[in-house]
Amino acid sequence: MQLSLLNELEFNDARDAFLKCCGSERWAYALAAARPYESDDELLKMADAAFAEFGRDDWMDAFAAHPKIGDVDSLRQKYGNTKDWAQSEQAGVNGVSDDVIERLASGNKLYEDRFGYIFIVCATGKSAEEMLAILNGRVDNDPEIELGIAAEEQKKITHIRLGKL
């Protein structure tokens, strides 16, 4: 979508477009309300400004909109409006061994049990093995440190998705 078209959308349509980039209602509302944007750079700055206002609950909303890495059923059932994006972002899990998928699944469960949300990583360009190594490297983090890391990953994902609008 071109920026000029995004600027011309009705408010609710613009909010829905932004929700495809980040699942936080608060964030999408802020971006829709701040239109019109003069440039892509201005849009990205507003995206980051809206993130800067986030508390834990806002991050949880954003994280909840993601499928678990490698969870194809979750992609199909829950995330139909971003399924194509998520599948291409997670292309690194396609064609990997069952062992790696199982280790990702068990690592995701351990991570979610520890932190209360799914493992968030900007998967674009990463193999399943790389994502597994990142997961294993983060699962023992202090919860506050990990929330900051997950938030930065969410920002990366959102920036990529904003470029796809």
| Positions marked catalytic | 66
Buried b (16+ CB within 10 A) or exposed e, 49-71: ebbeebeeebbebbbebbbbbbb
The answer to whether 79 and 20 have CB atoms below 8 angstroms apart is: no
Give whole-number Cα distances, 14 to 2, 34, 50, 116, in Å.
12, 11, 15, 30
Give whole-number Cα distances, 148 to 4, 116, 153, in Å.
33, 14, 9
